[in-house]
């Protein structure tokens, strides 16, 4: 059997030469859900822009060994986008990760602002990070985007330095349309559900251009998606 599927990506960080080893979760999806067999061809990404057309060589219960047939590299989106978002509830943060990753966002930065609910992060960030990363990997595979979005540790707006060429602050009083955008890297600031405080808004405004997401107020997760969509 020599069936080739180009409508779904599998993910592996275990790539050595021409050999790709998929873990138990990917193996379960390959065999139990998509019904692939040894000899079939699949598409595998390393999350760094590479997609490998690979042949399944050996399938076990908890792993699958593949041989790379041909590699190709996909250029990342331009400009490079960082989204710094005021920390919402845990489920909403996972939603943000799940929705932004397929859009090609480079990194997500949770901001612990004055109006955030941050009690669920106390000593639990590693567990939250694991859940968010699983959401990212899943959405990336479905979208055929071969880049795994990075999540930085939570940080206060006063301590965060974006390092981007242009900083943008989503604000109802901002410009409706941004003109002559030539920056190679952007950092988009999105407030938490209750918004940034006046002090935080004043601070962020000093080094950022304000832009509007429309006439209505949006939830943080929707605002993040709409904001990124303006620059794709």
CATH 3.40.1280.10 for domain 80-229, yes or no, is yes
Would you give the end-to-end CA distance of the chain in angstroms? 40
Q: How many helices (H) and strands (E) does the chain have?
A: 5, 12
Nearest residue to 148 (alpha-carbon basis) of 129, 161, 162: 129
Where the chain has pLDDT below 70, the residues are: 1-5, 117-119, 179-180
- The CATH superfamily label for domain 4-73 reads Hypothetical PUA domain-like; domain 1 (2.40.240.20)
pTM (2 d.p.)? 0.91
Model confidence over 189-215: pLDDT tens digits? 999 988 999 999 999 999 899 999 988
Annotate 174-230 with DSSP letters as a single string.
EESS--S---SEEEEEE--TT---HHHHHHHHTTSEEE---SS---HHHHHHHHHHT
- Is the peptide bond between 79 and the residue preceding it cis, with omega within 30 degrees of 0? yes
Domain residue extents for the chain: 4-73, 80-229
């Amino acid at each position: 059997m020599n069936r080739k599927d180009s409508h779904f990506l599998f993910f592996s960080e275990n790539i050595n030469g021409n050999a790709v080893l998929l873990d138990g979760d990917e193996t379960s999806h390959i065999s139990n859900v998509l019904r692939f067999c040894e000899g079939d061809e699949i598409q595998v990404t390393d999350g760094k822009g590479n997609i490998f057309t690979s042949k399944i060589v050996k399938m076990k219960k908890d792993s699958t060994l593949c041989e790379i047939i041909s590699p190709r590299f996909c250029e990342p989106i331009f400009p490079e986008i960082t989204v710094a978002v005021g920390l919402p509830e845990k489920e909403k943060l996972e939603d943000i990760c799940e929705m932004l990753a397929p859009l090609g966002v480079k990194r997500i930065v949770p901001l612990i602002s004055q109006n955030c609910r941050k009690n669920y992060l106390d000593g639990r960030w590693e567990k939250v990070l694991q859940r968010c990363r699983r959401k990212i990997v899943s959405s990336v595979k479905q979208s055929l985007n071969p880049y795994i979005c990075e999540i930085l540790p939570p940080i206060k707006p006063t301590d965060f330095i974006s390092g981007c060429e242009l900083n943008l602050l989503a604000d109802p009083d901002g410009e409706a349309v941004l003109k002559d955008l030539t920056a190679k890297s952007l950092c988009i600031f999105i407030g938490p559900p209750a918004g940034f405080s006046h002090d935080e808004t004043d601070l962020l405004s000093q080094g950022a251009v304000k832009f509007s997401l429309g006439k209505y107020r949006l939830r943080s997760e929707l605002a993040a998606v709409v904001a990124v969509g303006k620059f794709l």
